Amino acid sequence: MTTVKEEPGLLDEYCQKIIQICEQIPDGINDKVLQNEMAEVDPKIRVQCINKLLASSKLDIFKSSEGLLYKLKAPSKAVNIRGDQEEKIVFKIIENSGNKGIWLRDIRIQSGLLQTQLNKVLKSLEVKKLIKSVKSVNANKKKVYMLYDLEPDNSVTGGTWYSDQDFESEFVEILNQQCHRFLLHREEKSNTNKSGGPLAVRNGSLVKISEMQSYISELGISKVALNKKDLEAIMRTLIYDGKAERLSDEKGDALFRAVRSPVGTPGLVRSPCGVCPVIKDCGDKGSITPATCQYLQEWLEF
């Protein structure tokens, strides 16, 4: 088998081959694809090529359910900027931060620019609509910068349950009520058909997340499209409130059904706030807010 030591030029040839494969499969390739497409190449040499392409910023590496995934690195847009070198440097720094953005302080450190000089550059890039500033729920009165056409990550905006850094408790409460109403309706409908016995009645009361998603969408009570993860978070509020229970089907997918509690529960139990050990410090006058509460964030992301 040919080795890199015997013919050094082959390494570049194999690297080019990997680039061509990535161009043909833009969604990314894994080691299995490389093995099939380059079966004649020693696995150690393939690893050398991958490392070389990663080091030269020609490839990006991601984790997937099938292992490591390699994709061609998109060329930086900084080369197309019409401006001085300082704008290109700052744009590149912001570009590398992705949709999580970067703090002003970090831009200043990485660029080495003075604050007044950096402010001028940022203003110019914003006017050209190349970058934008976004308020972060992680720090009041602070902004992060990212490319203009990017959608901010949920870690920046707080996700569906936040609006202008404020936790939408009323919106969550409305969704909680409507989801519970749907579960009760399904249960009542199932109880009218007892021909199949108790098991059939019980199975008929079960609701899939996809069904709940369609129901909420038809109601039109949300200005944003709620995904399955959002609805699962709402269903957890019902579970914590003792009004629903979670089961699984044969595939392991979640199913939910109404639970009738003989005793009503206070509204705060619909979130971790009802059992929060630091609730006395929370609120407008406290040191903790919904945006900075680790208990609430863990619950929403559970």
pLDDT tens sequence across 244-264:
999 988 888 889 999 876 555
For residue 298, the model assigns a pLDDT of 54
The pLDDT score that the predictor gives to residue 179 is 92
* CATH among 2.30.30, 3.30.720, 1.10.30, 1.10.10 for 163-276: 1.10.10
Average pLDDT, the chain: 79
Which tens digit of pLDDT belongs to each residue from 38-68?
A: 988 888 888 888 888 888 778 888 777 777 8
For the segment(s) 77-157, the CATH number from 3.30.428.10, 3.30.300.30, 1.10.10.10, 3.10.28.10 is 1.10.10.10
Handedness of CA 185, 186, 188, 193 (dihedral sign): positive
Side-chain half-sphere CA neighbours of 285 within 13 A: 1
Look up tokens 């409305």; give the residue: 174
User: What burial letters (b/e) apply to 166-195, b meaning 16+ CB within 10 Å?
Assistant: ebbeebbebbbebbbebbbebbeebeeeee
The residue extents of the domains of the chain are: 9-72, 77-157, 163-276
pLDDT at 12 over 50: yes
Question: How sure is the predictor about 212, in pLDDT bands with cuts at 50, 70 and 90?
Answer: very high
Residue identified by tokens 């940022």 is 122
Residue 145 is classified by DSSP as E
CB under 8 A, 24+ apart: contacts of 64-70: 64/28, 64/30, 66/30, 66/32, 67/30, 67/31, 68/30, 68/31, 69/28, 69/29, 69/30, 70/18, 70/22, 70/28, 70/29, 70/30
pLDDT tens column, 102-149: 999 999 999 999 999 999 999 999 998 889 998 877 666 678 999 888
Tell me if 115 sits within 8 A of 164, measured CB to CB: no
pLDDT-derived band at 80, boundaries 50, 70, 90: low
φ/ψ (deg, to 5) at 190: -70, -35
Distance (Å, whole) CA 152 – CA 136: 10
- Matching CATH topology for 9-72 and 163-276? yes
Which pLDDT value is given to residue 211?
Answer: 92
* CATH T-level assignment (fold) for domain 9-72: Arc Repressor Mutant, subunit A (1.10.10)
Number of H helices, E strands in the chain: 12, 10
